Amino acid sequence: MSQNILSEAFIYDGGRSPFGRHAGALSSVRPDDLLAHVIKAVVNRNSFKAEDFEDVVMGNTNGAGEDCRNVARFALLEAGMPHTTAGITVNRLCGSGLAATLDAARGVKVGEGDLFLAGGVESMSRAPIVMSKAHSAFDRGQTIADSTLGARFTNPAYSNVFGDDTMPQTADNIAQDLGISREDSDVFAAGSQSKYEAARAEGFFSGEIIPIEVPQGRKKPPSVIDADEHPRPASSVKVLSGLRSLFDGGVVTAGNASGINDGAAALIIGNRAIGEKCGVRPRARIIAGGVAGVEPRVMGLGPVFAIKKALARANLNLGDMDIIEINEAFAAQVLGCLKMLEVDFKDTRVNPNGGAIAVGHPLGASGARIALSTVRQLERTGGRYAAISLCIGIGQGVAAIIERLD
């Protein structure tokens, strides 16, 4: 009986939109338009033919408004890709962008396509208000929910067992369980802002951001958005320490948590043969990935177990990593992960250019943004290996191990 040999999966290129604030510069842009813009730019600047792409795999969390019914397929068609190219939308909540990336890599590895697009999109500004259907004629008890963030229409059977902690409450749970202080959280958040600002000042992010024109009405020219809108470089520890915690006795504040944002990102992932055929050199190898589940009340610890799985599959350990990226849903959550991974809070390998506390967290796009920025940081520093990860609502984590190529 013959044994199939798995292919290797490589990252060839990638790009992202600027990340906008909630109700900010990108709030007038539909999520499918935002994703289509990024897809078109990334595909057009490379030598691959559009018809070479097997599938477009995109993460998206909300799916309740203009991003409904498979935003990946809508966006690829709007980007001018051939109708013969397939598209699928992946929802692993905050980890959707990285989950989509791993799905594409898996397709390459098992030989079900030579070339894929992967990434994600979220327009949290345009997330609609949703209403349940009536249970009976003339029923006046319909539920109305904001679909921007968090669960809605949760089944009581779930809540009765696992509770109904909001995302910030899960971070406070971690802080209480693991002894993470408010000061620890504010110091980490201030560090995220300052690291982002240092990288921005050096022009790092301009190498990955794809500018977008946003109409301003009939009497004004379009506004070119070419920079992230969420960072607050003046957020010092002193400033952050003056903010009120969201819950009594908790450590989470608006300043040490990620933002509510709009953005899109896309990566080109393929095997070595397609790159050789088209004369494009791969930039990084996706060695391994992993997902894991944890208690929903401490959902932010999911990266710990996902990273350990991915490292084991890559036959590497945390000491081999030149970069450790843990998405900054909340400072307390990242610090909890570091504590459980036995990584010092001041380890310079951790989120070297800041994270979601500064740049923002458009849920479906963040995983691909992290993968892209990490590849570029490895290229910038000459590092070889990186572990990248995100926590996920309802208690999960997703991680990948990537290797920079010479």
DSSP three-state, residue 53? coil
The pLDDT, as a whole number, for residue 135 is: 86
Task: Kindly list the domain boundaries of the chain, sorted by start residue.
Answer: 9-127+184-404
For residue range 232-274, what is the model confidence (pLDDT) as tens digits? 999 999 999 999 999 999 999 999 999 999 999 999 999 999 9
Alpha carbon separation from 69 to 60, 75, 145, 362 (Å, rounded): 11, 11, 20, 19
214 contacts: CB under 8 Å, gap ≥ 6:
25, 26, 28, 29, 222, 223, 224, 225
Alpha carbon distance, N-terminus to C-terminus of the chain: 36
Residues with a catalytic annotation lie at 94, 361, 391
**pLDDT tens digit at each of 406 positions of the chain:** 334 568 999 999 999 999 999 999 999 999 999 999 999 999 999 999 999 999 999 999 999 999 999 999 999 999 999 999 999 999 999 999 999 999 999 999 999 999 999 999 999 999 999 999 988 999 888 899 999 999 999 999 999 999 999 999 999 999 999 999 999 999 999 999 999 999 999 999 999 999 999 999 999 999 999 999 999 999 999 999 999 999 999 999 999 999 999 999 999 999 999 999 999 999 999 999 999 999 999 999 999 999 999 999 999 999 999 999 999 999 999 999 999 999 999 999 999 999 999 999 999 999 999 999 999 999 999 999 999 999 999 999 999 999 999 9
**What's the whole-model pTM score?**
0.97
Options 3.10.580.10, 3.40.47.10, 3.40.50.10800, 1.10.150.120; CATH for 9-127+184-404 is 3.40.47.10
Query: Which residues lie closer than 8 Å to 260 by C-beta, 6 or more apart?
Result: 21, 22, 124, 125, 148, 149, 360, 361
Could you give the angle at which helices 96-109 and 366-381 cross, rounded to 10 degrees? 70
The two tokens of residue 115 are: 């070339």
Contacts of 348 (CB under 8 A, 6+ apart): none
Burial group, residue 217, by CB count within 10 angstroms (0-12, 13-18, 19+): exposed
